[in-house]
Amino acid sequence: MTHIEDRVFIGFVIVATLAMMWIASPFFGAILWGLVAAIVFMPVNLALQRGLGGHRNTAAGLTLVIILALVIVPAVIIGSLLIDEAVSTYESLAQDQIDIGAMLETLRAAAPKSLLRILDQYELTDIKGLENRLSTFLTSGLRVAAERAVDVTQSAFGFAIGLGIMLYLTYFFLRDGRMIAEKVSNRLPLQEGKRRALFDKFTTVIRATVKGSIVVAVVQGILGGLTFYLLDIHAPLLWGVVMGLLSLVPAIGTGLIWVPVGIYLLATGDTSRGMTLLFIGFFVISMVDNILRPILVGKDTRMPDYVVLIATLGGISVLGINGFIIGPVIAAMFIAAWDIYAEDKIAASRAG
């Protein structure tokens, strides 16, 4: 009878857990980013605790103020400016104020004949067709961005609630993070060594993802947008944000934006701006990743690049922006689980 009662109780625990996950699912993003913020800023919080003589409430409150000043307020300001720029660029494309056909004709006239022959093989010299496809692509993308911007503006109340919940949870994650982690860890049906290994991997990957990807993306986006602004290239903020987003995805990077723009400037005879953009792109924007990422990440995580690429793109396609964090974490948990399993098999074979 005791065995049956145990099974019933385990079933009840599973059902209660799933029900709680279902209830909390509308705020999944707020919970996730609150947890991410707490993990990333936990060293700051601990340093403040030590400086304040162990006052956890004050330290968590001050850390939250730092998060607001360094992350939330700048993000809201940039987001509002980005909305205006995306909408104006979309309207310019929709009203044919940006002549894509003339740009393509200029590039075709400046291209060497050998390159044109190669492009002919792939039917890439049909200017009208390329214009239609490129215009449709850009217009559709900017229209989606503009529509999302309008949706965010219209649902400002919902956004404010989500942001408030995130900050509220971040405060308690900062203040009680260690206690919460210990409680969750102690309730997992795993050996202590395996629990600690998985928890360490979880926090390590989140910190490495944020430090090694988001910080690099922000720096590259700022450099790219500032370069476009100084060179008087249309919509510098928009393209800076796009470059920042592209830098998040391994093997793609910011060159997808500044290389074509630099080539176009050279092809149209604007040699000084074209050479300046390509020089800054190659020796400043691109080098940021090679210089900053090893400094920020160090040896925190060593997943193969192809795993990071698949995990990041797959996570984003399934979960949207939340997948940028969840994808690499799932990949890291997958690799860690199999590593632990392999070590157990080796240990068992040696013992046998």
CB atoms within 10 A of CB 281: 22
Residue 279's pLDDT is 92
Percent of the chain at pLDDT > 90 equals 11
Query: What span, in angstroms and rounded, lies between the C-alpha atoms of 71 and 210?
Result: 12
pLDDT 10s digits, 22-66: 998 888 888 988 988 898 898 899 999 998 988 899 999 999 999
pTM of this structure: 0.68
127: confidence class by pLDDT, cuts 50, 70, 90: very low
Identify which has the larger pLDDT, 60 or 79: 60
Q: What is the mean pLDDT of residues 335-343?
A: 79
Angle separating helix axes 127-154 and 73-94, nearest 10 degrees: 140
pLDDT digits (tens, 9 = 90+) for 177-205: 888 878 877 777 777 777 777 777 777 77
Q: What's residue 172's pLDDT?
A: 92
- Which one has a higher pLDDT value, 114 or 286? 286
Grade residue 125 by pLDDT with cuts at 50, 70 and 90.
very low
pLDDT at 137: 53
Mean pLDDT highest for which of 90-94, 232-236, 292-296? 232-236
Q: 257-280: per-residue pLDDT in tens?
A: 888 888 777 777 778 888 898 899
Share of the chain above pLDDT 70, in %: 74
pLDDT of residue 237 exceeding 90, the answer is: no
Q: What is the mean pLDDT of the chain?
A: 76
Please return the burial class of 294, using the count of CB atoms within 10 Å of its CB with bins 0-12, 13-18 and 19+.
exposed
Task: Report CA-CA distances (Å) from 236 to 222, 228, 325.
Answer: 10, 5, 27
Which sequence spans correspond to the domains of the chain? 29-187, 191-352
- Across 71-80, 172-181, 261-270, 296-305, the highest mean pLDDT is recorded for 172-181
Residues 40 and 211: their CA atoms lie apart, in Å, by 8
The band of 116, judged by pLDDT with boundaries at 50, 70 and 90, is very low
Q: Is 52 helix (H, G, I), strand (E, B) or coil?
A: coil
pLDDT of residue 122: 46
| Averaged pLDDT for residues 284-309 | 72
Reported as half-sphere exposure (CB side, CA atoms, 13 A), residue 275 has a value of 4
Report which of residues 112 and 90 the model is more confident about.
90
